[in-house]
């Protein structure tokens, strides 16, 4: 039987935007674990910037796709593949309905999968009534006994939190590796689809590469090209309408008054006279004709 790759633990961190500073500090403490842990948290991209002005005119009907839609679709898949849920808890997070919905989903997954393969932990950031107002009341907090905001020095609290999390990661890795080895050993001649059907659902995240967010660059043409196309269209339009425009008359008439008043006519010293009457061409007589015949 070929050697199996160890399962990489998926860690999902849920937090309130007001507690972003604590998240950034925690990420610095968890940085050495990135080789063995996928650390996921909500960090949506910015909305797409507007197109340059010429492209807004040329493509007035075009609406750029919002990358946040695909991001939240991937984030939802990541949430459903997590092995550990850390809920950064404070009085600010208690008023966040989105976090409470995530707690409900995580608890449902734990009931479906079992605590052997999935863990939920509150991380207490500041004093609050989280046991009375949160769905995390029955879960033991991870980290120091006191909230991180009152732990002095603060580094002591983050150190204790990182060490406790490392212990949980090792325990989960052992359980998941044993499960993976057991399934592969007892599979026999079964196909991969049959093995997947016998595995506990929902997905436990053995293939996290399929849920990585790939940012979409979108349609961002250069601004100068838009100006070139727009000016070309304007020039071609003017050239087609040119004969009907006053500005395109012949140069010889540019100095004529456009009001329709004709310039004054000066008297001539010798007025124009009609040509003199020309007499009719003389008709030859009979003697002349006889002379011509005799000569020829």
Higher per-residue confidence, 181 vs 194: 181
- Rounded Cα distance between 110 and 202, Å, is 10
| Residue 258 backbone phi and psi in degrees, to 5 | -80, 0
pLDDT value at residue 61: 78
**H helical segments located in the chain:** 20-30, 53-58, 67-80, 97-113, 130-133, 154-185, 192-198, 223-241, 286-295
Most confident stretch, 38-52, 54-68, 107-121, 235-249: 107-121
Answer whether residue 202 shows pLDDT above 50: no
- Rounded Cα distance between 125 and 26, Å, is 11
Asked whether residue 205 is assigned to any structural domain, the reply reads yes
Asked whether residue 250 is assigned to any structural domain, the reply reads no
Q: If you average pLDDT over residues 28-39, what whole number do you get?
A: 89
Please report which confidence band the pLDDT of residue 28 belongs to, taking 50, 70 and 90 as the band edges: very high
Secondary structure class of 82 (helix, strand, coil):
coil
Q: Residue 52's domain is classified under what CATH number? A: 3.40.50.10140
Higher per-residue confidence, 194 vs 38: 38
Structural domain of 116: 9-211
Q: What is the pLDDT of residues 147-161, one digit of tens each?
A: 998 888 889 999 999
pLDDT value at residue 252: 54
Asked whether residue 258 is assigned to any structural domain, the reply reads no
Higher per-residue confidence, 185 vs 8: 8
Asked whether residue 155 is assigned to any structural domain, the reply reads yes
Asked whether residue 220 is assigned to any structural domain, the reply reads no
Q: What is the pLDDT of residues 57-88, one digit of tens each?
A: 878 777 777 777 888 888 899 999 999 999 99
Asked whether residue 276 is assigned to any structural domain, the reply reads no
Please report which confidence band the pLDDT of residue 207 belongs to, taking 50, 70 and 90 as the band edges: very low
Asked whether residue 17 is assigned to any structural domain, the reply reads yes
Asked whether residue 117 is assigned to any structural domain, the reply reads yes
Number of domains into which the chain is organized: 1
């Amino acid at each position: 039987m070929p050697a199996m790759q160890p399962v990489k633990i998926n860690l999902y961190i849920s937090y309130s935007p007001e507690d972003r500073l604590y998240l950034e500090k925690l990420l610095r403490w968890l940085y050495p674990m990135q080789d063995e842990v996928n650390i996921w948290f909500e960090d949506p991209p910015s909305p797409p910037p507007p197109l340059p002005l010429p492209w807004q005119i040329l493509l007035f009907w075009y609406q750029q796709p919002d990358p946040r839609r695909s991001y939240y679709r991937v984030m939802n898949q990541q949430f459903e593949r997590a092995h550990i849920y850390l809920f950064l808890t404070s009085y600010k997070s208690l008023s966040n309905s989105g976090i409470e919905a995530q707690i409900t989903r995580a608890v449902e997954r734990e009931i479906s999968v079992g605590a052997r393969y999935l863990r939920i932990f509150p991380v207490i950031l500041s004093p609050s009534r989280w046991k009375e107002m949160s769905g995390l009341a029955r879960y033991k907090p991870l980290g120091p006994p006191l909230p991180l905001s009152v732990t002095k020095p603060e580094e002591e609290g983050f150190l204790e939190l990182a060490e406790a999390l490392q212990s949980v990661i090792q325990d989960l890795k052992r359980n998941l590796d044993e499960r993976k080895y057991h399934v592969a050993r007892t599979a026999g001649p079964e196909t991969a689809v049959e093995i997947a059907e016998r595995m506990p659902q929902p997905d436990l995240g053995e293939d996290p590469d399929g849920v990585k967010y790939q940012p979409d660059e979108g349609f961002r043409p250069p601004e100068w090209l838009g100006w070139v196309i727009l000016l070309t269209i304007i020039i071609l339009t003017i050239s087609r309408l040119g004969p009907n425009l006053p500005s395109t008359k012949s140069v010889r008439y540019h100095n004529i008054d456009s009001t329709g008043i004709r310039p004054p006519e000066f008297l001539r010293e010798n007025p124009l006279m009609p040509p003199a009457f020309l007499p009719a061409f003389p008709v030859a007589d009979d003697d002349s004709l006889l002379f011509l015949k005799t000569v020829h």
